[in-house]
Amino acid sequence: MSSGEGGIADKVNNAALLRISNLEVSFGGIVAVDNLSFEMAPGEVCGLIGANGAGKTTIFNCISRIYTPSGGSITFDGNNILDLKARDMAGIGIGRTFQNLVLFPSLSVRENIEAGAHSVGKSGFFADLLRLPIASATRRDIQERAQEMIELLGLSPIAEEPIGSLTFATRKRVELARALASDPKLLLLDEPAGGLSHGEVDELMERVREVRDRFSLAMLIVEHHLNFVMRISDRVVAVNFGRKIADGKPSEVSVNPAVLEAYLGTAA
Ligand SMILES: Nc1ncnc2c1ncn2[C@@H]1O[C@H](COP(=O)(O)OP(=O)(O)OP(=O)(O)O)[C@@H](O)[C@H]1O
Ligand SMILES: [Mg+2]
């Protein structure tokens, strides 16, 4: 398999899936995101790197509508998403994982993943409640989608275990499965390798590669493990103090003097 660096220019020339333009976020006097712009093509895997506090999670929180930026625009599939709410995101095709795990500890692996698959269903809450025929079809869709993700992420042996009994690395995989279960077009992964051992990071890399190859979904990945980001991404965006300092192929960004200086604390 290639490193994924081919054909990027072609992809970017097509209509953008995600377009962030002149994004601004401040908290009191702190400017967390400063006039930031970048685009992602459908199916593109984009790494987002930067030192602690650079603004990466804040950018995710704007895309997933947890924060409302003070300036700029975000479009997804050509539509302005700043008019939408966080709860609408899975329905339009944006899924995410969190820097700190957000799972239901007393529910099983399967139940957590089924919760993520809910937006796949075509029926609404009332149809579920009234057990209309469409709701049972939807229930089946949810179960099938969850089962597919359980198998894809190697979770079958522990599918009925409660989340609380699992190791951190396994819970991270469950969170990935849950985000995928909503059938996103864009998946936002916030530090998927955070807290994992060396071997676990390699395993996660394989899983993420399988996901990338199997579904043609775009992924925006925040990660401090540079080796992971550089190997998995088609493109890498680097930020420092909320500003974009580099945007290009992993091989270019990893030797960019501004990135080395700002992110690695090494003079080029
Ligand atoms: N809810 C908030 N209220 C006030 N300040 C915030 C809030 N969220 C983030 N910040 C500030 O905004 C800046 C960017 O934070 P952010 O969490 O986006 O960084 P990050 O790049 O994700 O860092 P890390 O790598 O440590 O996760 C930091 O200065 C942070 O303290
Ligand atoms: Mg963060």
Average pLDDT, integer, range 22-47:
96
Q: CB-based burial of residue 73 (10 Å sphere; 0-12 exposed, 13-18 middle, 19+ buried)?
A: middle
Per cent of the chain over pLDDT 70 is 85
pLDDT at 122 over 60: no
Is residue 20 domain-resident? yes
Ligand 1 pocket, 240 CB below 6 A?
Answer: no
Question: Most confidently modeled of 35-44, 100-109, 132-141, 259-268?
Answer: 35-44
Average pLDDT, integer, range 89-116:
85
pLDDT at 98 over 70: yes
pLDDT value for 104 = 80
What range defines the domain where residue 16 resides? 8-264
Ligand 1 pocket, 50 CB below 6 A?
Answer: yes
Number of the ligand closest to the Cα of 98: 2
pLDDT at 12 over 80: no
Is residue 120 domain-resident? yes
Residue 76 vs residue 4, higher pLDDT: 76
Three-state DSSP at 94 gives strand
Number of the ligand closest to the Cα of 31: 1
Number of the ligand closest to the Cα of 56: 1
User: What confidence tier does 135 reach under pLDDT thresholds 50, 70, 90?
Assistant: low
Dump pLDDT digits (tens) for 215-259.
889 999 999 888 899 999 999 999 999 999 999 999 999 999 999
Is residue 1 domain-resident? no
Three-state DSSP at 90 gives helix
Average pLDDT, integer, range 177-181:
91
Three-state DSSP at 31 gives strand
pLDDT at 129 over 80: no
Q: CB-based burial of residue 125 (10 Å sphere; 0-12 exposed, 13-18 middle, 19+ buried)?
A: exposed
Please give the radius of gyration of the chain, using alpha carbons only, rounded to the nearest integer.
19
User: What confidence tier does 64 reach under pLDDT thresholds 50, 70, 90?
Assistant: very high
User: What confidence tier does 102 reach under pLDDT thresholds 50, 70, 90?
Assistant: confident
Alpha helices by DSSP H, 153-242: 168-181, 198-214, 226-232
CATH number at residue 121: 3.40.50.300
pLDDT at 202 over 60: yes
Given ligand 1 and candidates 27, 59, 66, 99, which is best to mutate, with the most ligand atoms within 8 Å of its CB?
A: 27
**Residues around the ion ligand 2 (C-beta < 5 A):** 56-57, 99
Is residue 201 domain-resident? yes
Is residue 3 domain-resident? no
pLDDT value for 119 = 61
Say if CB 36 and CB 245 are below 8 A apart: no
The CA-based angle 16-225-260, given to 5 degrees, is 80
pLDDT at 84 over 70: yes
User: What confidence tier does 13 reach under pLDDT thresholds 50, 70, 90?
Assistant: very low
Is residue 2 domain-resident? no
Average pLDDT, integer, range 174-189:
92
Ligand 1 pocket, 15 CB below 6 A?
Answer: no
pLDDT at 205 over 70: yes
Number of domains in the chain: 1
